[in-house]
Structure 1
């Protein structure tokens, strides 16, 4: 008699809509408590009084990572190579794809179970800047402007401007992206020497001419007075 009551009680619980199900059971579409399908499978047909839940395996490209009462597997994520991701672990019937960050990129959105879901290329420092902090898998590159008196041609390191020698002259001033340009001072002096020499020669000649004329005038005047 006791066994009969237990069986009848189980059947009543099985058939009663809305009744709380056990941890490894799910509520079917018609309100019954049915056994869940295992990981890697989903429900193909709900249980009946005569048979348990019928399950089907997840197909390629889908997975199910926990006991469930669902009718569809979850699509595996795709690691987008065009956005700096690559497949670290392939998707299986029970696990999702795990993506990782390609070299030269950092992760912008990190998921606990699937790795990185969105990556971006490291920032390239521009001329006039230097790399203050190198980029990593989780952080972008940090750039910094070169200080006055320093320049960076390739955006990697800042180098101090060249100091021209005593025998040189500065042809072009430096900037944050270009160095000082020095030139040979001897050419500059030679170019200045030619017009200066010509001017000096002309001045001496003019003095000689004027002096000669004054001498002639003086002699002429003296002769006139003597006569």
Structure 2
């Protein structure tokens, strides 16, 4: 009798090994717990209690200043981002229960990362370089060397290269290459250059 019981126990172990419990596959926005498929909490809500055979998943809304932006089974909501004015940040859009707060930089500054967690000054283009692309709140200034016939003699995050022109009444082309820093070009006798906006010609 004892031997029979041992044989039955052995066969029971083998059968349980060969025939495991079926794998549970849940639907979209569901999760498995205690051999049940429970519905996840929708964005803006957090999990309080898992579902059971007789009850559904229990969720509650995130509090003011908190959010969850995906279907989830989280027990805690995330805090909204703080736009620290000491870092040059200000609120671009207030967060909700299912979206985070977004920040932007003050005028003259741009974000240092995609998440915009801090800001830095726009880079000015030095003399000899002009602004190819003006900085935005999320990108820095793009500078480009002034081409022949153009100049920049200031350091600026806004100024483009300015063209040199011939003096009024001159029918000759100016010589030299004044495009780097705005210095007067070496011109043939009687021919002068002037910058747009200047009152007098340079010779």
Give TM-score, length-normalised by structure 2. 0.54
Gap change, CA 1:27 and 1:119, over 3 Å in 2: farther
Q: Which residue of 2 aligns with 1:160?
A: 183
Higher normalized contact order (CA 8 Å, seq sep 6+, divided by chain length): 2
CA RMSD after TM alignment: 3.4
Alpha-carbon contact 2:125-2:155 (below 8 Å) kept: yes
Which residue is equivalent to 1:224? none
Which of 106, 110, 129 is the equivalent residue of 2:110? 106
2:24 equivalent among 19, 24, 29: 19
Aligned residues between the structures: 139
Give the secondary structure class of the aligned counterpart of 1:140. Answer: coil
SS in 2 for 1:139: coil
Using the alignment, how far apart are the partners of 1:101 and 1:17 within structure 2? 55
Q: How far apart are 1:136 and its partner, in Å?
A: 2.6
| 2:111 match: secondary structure | strand
* Alignment partners' CA distance in 1, 2:152 and 2:37: 74
1:117 shift after superposition: 4.0
Partners of 2:103 and 2:22 lie apart in 1 by 43
| C-alpha spacing 1:70/1:84, structure 2 compared with 1 (3 Å) | same
Runs of 4+ in 1 over 6 A off after TM superposition: none
Q: Give 1:122 shift.
A: 0.8
Number of the residue aligned with 2:131:
132
TM-score (norm 1): 0.49
1:67 to 51, 60, 71: 71
